[in-house]
């Protein structure tokens, strides 16, 4: 990432948290690189790098409220990180999202406001989430 203002989002347009995160990025005036990871999943190496960059464990980045998680009994501690990565690559829906990458860090943006910690530019306008929750006030500051 050579551009200090570059932003990449691993995005699922069907997810409200992902849409809110994308909108917060755009509220800085930046247009991120959008990777719809269900269509273009990361490679194993990219996934390992993303997870490591978040500071979370593989299990913490695993999405739990989806069909493959239950069917595969992935809450069983018998599964190793390598095996969990294999499942995430086989079933990208198991990768929790959105993950955002900037020069300032990598975050799993749940809730969407987490992205504010790594954006290279400030918010330009007020921002309210799709559910009506205010995030940024008229002065450009966080509400909570």
Point out the residues that are catalytic.
15
Those residues with Cβ within 8 angstroms of residue 36's Cβ, 6 or more apart along the chain or in another chain: 11, 12, 13
Residue 44 CA to residue 49 CA, distance in Å, equals: 9
Cα end-to-end span (Å), the chain: 31
Using an 8 Å Cβ cutoff, are 128 and 134 in contact? yes
Residue 137 CA to residue 79 CA, distance in Å, equals: 44
């Amino acid at each position: 990432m050579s551009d200090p203002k570059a932003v990449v989002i691993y995005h699922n347009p069907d997810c409200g948290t992902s849409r809110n995160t994308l909108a917060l990025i755009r509220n800085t005036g930046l247009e991120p690189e959008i990777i719809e990871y269900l269509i273009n999943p990361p490679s194993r190496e990219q996934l390992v790098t993303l997870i490591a960059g978040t500071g979370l464990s593989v299990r913490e980045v695993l999405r739990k409220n989806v069909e493959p998680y239950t069917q595969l009994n992935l809450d069983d501690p018998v599964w190793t990180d390598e095996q969990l990565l294999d499942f995430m690559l086989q079933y990208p829906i198991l990768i929790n999202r959105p993950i955002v990458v900037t020069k300032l860090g990598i975050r799993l943006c749940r809730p969407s406001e987490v992205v504010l910690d790594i954006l290279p530019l400030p918010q330009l306008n007020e921002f309210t989430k799709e559910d009506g929750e205010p995030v940024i006030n008229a002065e450009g500051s966080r509400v909570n």
